[in-house]
Amino acid sequence: MDNLFQMWWPVACVVLADVIYQVCAKKISSGTDPLAALGVTYLVSAAVCAGLYYGMGGMDLLADMSHARLAAAGIGFAVTGLEVGCVYMYKAGWAMNVGFILYTAMIVAALLVVGAVLYGEAVSFTAMAGLIITSSGMYMIVRGA
């Protein structure tokens, strides 16, 4: 049971957080400067991360941060790109249920290629069939929007 919980609580966390994220991103996209609002987002995120760090037994945040690899900065740039893109996607008028599906499906396709090229992951017939079906569905959803 512990292993099952360890496998699925992060998935539940991502799903819940992403639903909250999408709703808030849609609200940010109208009525306020998106970049200023994202600045508030990062301040709150830094405070939450610091609280979690100490709450989970961390002792010296600055010392531990000094050991962070360049990939941590890469994630910072990537997260900024995700958030700016998402907020401006909604600002441009994309519906939540269409825009999210579109970019998520495109991410799946890109990661299939990245996994194969950079990490030597196998691309099965089933994965390719799924990609074709997903692309077809994505086309129908966007065309119907």
Residue 110 has phi, psi (to 5 degrees) of -65, -40
Over residues 59-76, the pLDDT tens digits come to 999 999 999 999 999 999
* Contacts of 134 by beta carbon, 8 Å cutoff, 6+ apart: 105, 108, 109
Higher pLDDT pick, 64 / 31: 64
Residue 28's CB is within 10 A of a number of other CB atoms, namely: 22
Over residues 43-102, the pLDDT tens digits come to 999 999 999 999 999 999 999 999 999 999 999 999 999 999 999 999 999 998 888 888
> How high is the pLDDT of residue 1?
64
Residue 145 has pLDDT above 80, yes or no: no
> How high is the pLDDT of residue 101?
84
Q: 67, exposed or middle or buried, with CB in 10 Å at 0-12, 13-18, 19+? A: exposed
Model pTM above 0.75: yes
Residue 104's CB is within 10 A of a number of other CB atoms, namely: 13
